[in-house]
Structure 1
Amino acid sequence: MYLYLSVAFGLLAISAVQSSSSNGGGFNLRPFRINLSSGVSRMLNFVNNTQLPGGPEYLGASAGIPLDTLKSLRAEWLTRFDWDKEQLAINAFNHFTAEVEGLTIHFIHEKSRTPNAIPLILIHGWPGSFLEFLPVIDPLLQNSKTSTDTPITFDIIIPSLPGYAFSSAPPQNWTIDDTARVYNTLMTDVLGYSEYATHGTDWGSFVAYSLYGNFNGSVRASHFCFLPFSPQSPTELAALNVSLSPLEAYEEQEAMTFDSSGIGYTIEQSTEPNTIGLALYDNPVGQLAWIGQKFLNWSDPRAGTPPSVLDHNEILKSVSLYYLTKSLVSSMYIYFQNPEALKTVYSKAQTDAPMLFSGFKYNPGFWPPALVAQVGNLVLYRNHDFGGHFAGIDNPPALIKDLREIGTYWA
């Protein structure tokens, strides 16, 4: 399906490149093809020669990734994982790079056949990448309808954050707002969209919220699975007279547990990204432990069973991308450069653009509707009892369905 649609839309994407280039934006917009195969043999050789403890485990999963799980993932990496096969599927989409404010920005750009399709930029976080949105691309390109029978289809743009995958590392003192400004330039000046919608998760929600509040002339709708505001405690919610359903009460408890015992990685990456980053830079099994644990802990325990596609192969693909692109250290800079990005005081963005929000049961952050409504023009809130932090691979059908609701409020 990926390959078929890539051929169908490839000419449209190439036409977009030619059109943008001929308009003279000076952004050096060009097609891009991924070719990381030359590094795979060395990577797997390191994986094969890495020694892991052979004794029993004395601590449970609360101490980090279990040793048996890491051993199992390592064995799959060596025996079943096929980077060349994954790379072929990834390259079935149309990739590009552009130069904006001195940064090389890598992105996927897939155009619908529908002339009035809504441009939608999907923004990932850490330890995600553009990979986590691949399962939703093809369905969102197709003609469909919202819950109110409004016709809907999208043009899809998926950039790699600065310092991630094939996007160049950001300079010193680079902020979330800087990335948002570059992305707005990408959408409006490079690709020629006067208006567009956004989706953000994890750090991508910080960028998307900056776009939502600061570029309200071009951003006309935003969907979120995460927010750049600190979740509230049960006491704080009670003070706001917020009552919770059983599902919400579970999510609130998970968020509080994460806040008390799950943020060690954040402290390390916010204060000493070079220490952990350089320690793991040329250690694929180390990156597997550091990144893989987040995928395992922040996803639905049923991950890998439908509708989830977040299986071990997906984790290995993501870790391979980080290792082969040598981007682990630079991906952590966003923490160090934005230590105060998570706001503790709720304030509403200065825009009338509709805001949509999707909650997922095992996402480590939780915001009930009353909180989301404090920060934007909330028009739709949905909460799902399947899925976690990486909705694009943990529950793609739900994310697709919710994103389509943008069409109900697009004006």
Structure 2
Amino acid sequence: MTHETRPFQVDIPEAEISELKRRIKATRWPEKETVGDESQGVRLETIREVARYWLGQYDWRKIESKINSYPNFLTEIDDLDFHFIHVRSKHENALPILVAHGWPGSIIEQMKLIQPLTDPTAHGGSADDAFHVVIPSMPGYGFSGKPSATGWNPERIARAYGELMARLGYTRYVAQGGDWGAIVVNAMGVQEPAGLLGIHTNMPEVIPPEVDAAIWSGNLLPSNLSDEERTACEQVRENKFAYAFLMGTRPQTLTGLVDSPIGLAAFMIDHDWKSHSMIARSFAGVDEGLTPDDVLDNVSLFWFTGTAISAARLYWETTVAGLSFFAVKGVKLPVACSVFPDEMYQAPRSWAEKAYPKLIHYNKLPKGGHFAAWEQPDHMVSEIRTGLRSLR
């Protein structure tokens, strides 16, 4: 194993961009859905608009240039290449932060945070709010290596992230995450790698184990739940998680996702129903949260890196390991929680206080959903600054 850190730049060949467009043009379309809403999945009208925009208006080179405007690196950890963006603040007392993405996300999901976190005086903050920012690509995602053997579950990724921060020379740092990123930094909170002061999460893992088991089994919920706790359970159930069950049991069957860009886009858009609806509205011309360019930046990254299957295996690894998405894991370090209204479930304060005995921040936001850093970066920046301030 080498501890060398190598500079990296993105350079997708023009021939691959042309091939992407050829495949979009060659799409074989299904018939229109037989319902008047999104209950059967991504509507034909929406995915046709995705194709039209992808072919006629989208420019991959813009996001490629944006990625390359930041320092990108590769380093080998546990026999696998890890890609990461590393931007140091000009402010002397900046606090290092690892920011972790999830599925169907990537480094693109958190890039809107970089400038406000590293240069707060230019973005409504003070020098005391400054962070050095590290954004890694998960194994099998983006420009990181694709595991060729089993075992890369969230707990192993958490250990690798701890090693990455140590390798960068950070002896005091914090970590933030949403979706899988939340699960990974939660695991870091359990493992307590040297230097980790605390974590910030926008998808808290706070559901009591017995309640979590009842949610997923379909059994009756405990009778002693508060109205807020019962609502949280119902929110988890209403999301269905069809994509997660498929990737968690049969990821290799999703071969079509590396063959059809439109198939990949449709699968990635149909995450949770609130994000799905917001993305559909954005392609219909409604200006909110994510833009069509935001969405296609991320889908295109998955397409060009051929990572649909390698990323999906993380769900299988988690299933095999018997890990829960939302149940309490036993974090003892300080934790800051931000609860967005359109998240897959709104974590109640009552559960957060029990799950995280050192809860240092809990706040419900007025707007935002599952991809909060991507959709509402101003809110997320404020939450990171405020939530982790006491750890400086």
Tell me the TM-score normalised to structure 1 length: 0.84
1:307 to 1:386, Cα distance in 2 relative to 1, 3 A: farther
Give the CA deviation at 1:263.
1.1
Would the aligned equivalents of 1:124 and 1:161 in 2 still touch at CA under 8 Å? yes
Residue 27, structure 1, aligned to residue 3, structure 2:
yes
Would the aligned equivalents of 2:207 and 2:326 in 1 still touch at CA under 8 Å? yes
| Cα offsets for 1:113-169 (capped at 9, x unmatched) | 112211001101110111010111100112459x99892210000000000011112
Residue 174, structure 1, aligned to residue 132, structure 2:
no
Aligned amino acid, residue 80 of structure 2: L
Rounded Cα–Cα distance in structure 1 between residues aligned with 2:388 and 2:183: 23
1:301 to 1:186, Cα distance in 2 relative to 1, 3 A: same
Name which of 332, 336, 347 aligns with 1:367.
347
Rounded Cα–Cα distance in structure 1 between residues aligned with 2:329 and 2:381: 28
Residue 393, structure 1, aligned to residue 374, structure 2:
yes
Give the CA deviation at 1:184.
0.5
Rounded Cα–Cα distance in structure 2 between residues aligned with 1:37 and 1:274: 27
| Cα offsets for 1:30-51 (capped at 9, x unmatched) | 1110011331110111001112
Please give the secondary structure, in 1, of the residue aligned with 2:355: coil
Residue 172 of structure 2 is matched in structure 1 by: 195
Please give the secondary structure, in 1, of the residue aligned with 2:176: strand
1:295 to 1:81, Cα distance in 2 relative to 1, 3 A: farther
Q: How does 1:221-232 map to 2 (within 5 A)?
A: 221-228=198-205, 230=207, 232=211
Rounded Cα–Cα distance in structure 2 between residues aligned with 1:166 and 1:256: 33
Residue 338, structure 1, aligned to residue 354, structure 2:
no
Give the CA deviation at 1:216.
5.2
Q: Report the aligned-residue RMSD.
A: 2.8
Identity, % of aligned positions: 26
Name which of 269, 275, 283 aligns with 2:247.
269
Would the aligned equivalents of 1:222 and 1:354 in 2 still touch at CA under 8 Å? yes
Give the CA deviation at 1:80.
0.2
Please give the secondary structure, in 2, of the residue aligned with 1:97: strand
Which segments of 5 or more consecutive residues in structure 1 lack a partner in the other structure?
1-24
1:358 to 1:314, Cα distance in 2 relative to 1, 3 A: same
Residue 46 of structure 1 is matched in structure 2 by: 23
Please give the secondary structure, in 2, of the residue aligned with 1:381: strand
Name which of 301, 306, 310 aligns with 1:321.
301
Give the CA deviation at 1:360.
1.0
Q: Which moved more, 1:60-69 or 1:35-44?
A: 35-44
Rounded Cα–Cα distance in structure 1 between residues aligned with 2:62 and 2:190: 41
Residue 288 of structure 1 is matched in structure 2 by: 265
Rounded Cα–Cα distance in structure 2 between residues aligned with 1:320 and 1:155: 28
1:117 to 1:138, Cα distance in 2 relative to 1, 3 A: same
Rounded Cα–Cα distance in structure 1 between residues aligned with 2:29 and 2:207: 37
Rounded Cα–Cα distance in structure 2 between residues aligned with 1:393 and 1:344: 21
Aligned amino acid, residue 349 of structure 2: P
Residue 402 of structure 1 is matched in structure 2 by: 383
Please give the secondary structure, in 2, of the residue aligned with 1:35: coil
Aligned amino acid, residue 244 of structure 2: T
Residue 9 of structure 1 is matched in structure 2 by: none
Would the aligned equivalents of 1:299 and 1:388 in 2 still touch at CA under 8 Å? no
Residue 58 of structure 2 is matched in structure 1 by: 81
Q: Which moved more, 1:26-35 or 1:61-70?
A: 26-35
Residue 41 of structure 2 is matched in structure 1 by: 64
Give the CA deviation at 1:346.
3.1
Rounded Cα–Cα distance in structure 2 between residues aligned with 1:29 and 1:347: 32
1:254 to 1:309, Cα distance in 2 relative to 1, 3 A: same
Would the aligned equivalents of 1:151 and 1:407 in 2 still touch at CA under 8 Å? no
Q: How does 1:116-265 map to 2 (within 5 A)?
A: 116-143=93-120, 151-170=128-147, 171-188=149-166, 190-215=167-192, 217-228=194-205, 230=207, 232=211, 239-240=224-225, 242-244=226-228, 253-258=234-239, 262-265=240-243
Aligned residues: 374
Aligned amino acid, residue 128 of structure 1: G
Q: Which moved more, 1:68-77 or 1:370-379?
A: 370-379
Tell me the TM-score normalised to structure 2 length: 0.87
Rounded Cα–Cα distance in structure 2 between residues aligned with 1:335 and 1:215: 24
Aligned amino acid, residue 5 of structure 2: L
Would the aligned equivalents of 1:299 and 1:363 in 2 still touch at CA under 8 Å? no
Residue 348 of structure 1 is matched in structure 2 by: 330
Residue 13 of structure 2 is matched in structure 1 by: 37
Rounded Cα–Cα distance in structure 2 between residues aligned with 1:91 and 1:296: 33
Rounded Cα–Cα distance in structure 1 between residues aligned with 2:374 and 2:157: 24
Rounded Cα–Cα distance in structure 2 between residues aligned with 1:252 and 1:314: 30
Give the CA deviation at 1:295.
7.2
Please give the secondary structure, in 1, of the residue aligned with 2:270: helix
Give the CA deviation at 1:298.
2.5
Residue 92 of structure 2 is matched in structure 1 by: 115
Please give the secondary structure, in 2, of the residue aligned with 1:357: strand
1:407 to 1:208, Cα distance in 2 relative to 1, 3 A: closer
Residue 312, structure 1, aligned to residue 288, structure 2:
no
Q: Which moved more, 1:324-333 or 1:305-314?
A: 305-314
Rounded Cα–Cα distance in structure 1 between residues aligned with 2:207 and 2:42: 26
1:320 to 1:62, Cα distance in 2 relative to 1, 3 A: same
| Cα offsets for 1:176-210 (capped at 9, x unmatched) | 1111111111001x200012100011111111011
Would the aligned equivalents of 1:160 and 1:166 in 2 still touch at CA under 8 Å? yes
Would the aligned equivalents of 1:299 and 1:387 in 2 still touch at CA under 8 Å? no
Aligned amino acid, residue 361 of structure 2: L
Aligned amino acid, residue 141 of structure 1: T
